[in-house]
Amino acid sequence: MSTRPLAGVLGHPVAHSLSPAIQNAAFRAAGLDWRYLKLPVPPERFTEVVRALPASGYRGANVTIPHKLAALELAGEATGAARAIGAANTLIFRAETIGADNTDAQGLLEAISTPVAGVRAVVLGAGGAGRAAVWALIQAGAGRVAVWNRTPEKARALARDLGAECAGHALEGGPDLLVNATSVGLDPSVPAGAALEALGLGGSEPPATVVDLVYRGDGGVTPVTAWATRGGARTIDGIEVLVQQGARSFELWTGRSAPLDAMRAAARSG
């Protein structure tokens, strides 16, 4: 067992993740001798790997695609937010159990940084990130929250679970805010036009504010962010959301205030 406290990010894929750079910078800034690692884990091995982590010195882990729903199911304890959302992105390894929380919701609102009360919002995607975004916006008082997914049945299920609406297309109702919570745009080999068409955004003008939870580890601009910028929208990229949710995770693991400036600098420098 390692005597150095460890944390990591569980995902499949996870090679593009900036979380190690962000969290290791945070540990250094806080004077903590911790180390944060990438943990690529296929779905069939997720439970086995997570249960083995505490014995290897891990104090906690972040969870990304496609494990957020499985992380909640595995946990022995969970916060009200994680249970309400139905997904977890943060695990805390305690002496007797595994705790689960969802910092995606608060991270999204912190990244948006302006009030969302009364706004009309559409969330693209019905996975763990989409669930967190819908729940966060509803809790923050958005006037209308609709969810769109390429598989309509999943959108309907999420809307039913969380009390949202189901959108027939990505920009239905002329939203003020759009959140891309799909993985579209993550693969740089997919042409930008094809990515936008997959989301139903091709040939459309963006709403006033666009949040793209996707980011690229190579620093490239994602198709949704480029589309929003061309259209004059206020854009919030996935890196800022990652920093904000990562700050909440850091605080849960360490009990320290997160050094946001150091985390943001590390994220932007790659």
Of residues 43, 35, 105, the one with CA closest to residue 70: 43
* Calpha distance 36→21 (Å, rounded): 8
Structure tokens at 65: 């695609």
Active site residue 68: yes
- Sequence-separated (6 or more) residues with CB below 8 Å from residue 230: none
Inter-residue contact 255 to 218 (CB < 8 Å): no
* Calpha distance 149→266 (Å, rounded): 32
- String of b and e for 115-138 (b: at least 16 CB within 10 Å)? ebeebbbbbbbbbbbbbbbbbbbb
Cα of first residue to Cα of last residue in the chain, in angstroms, is 30
Identify the active-site residue in 67, 68, 144, 264: 68
Catalytically annotated residues? 68
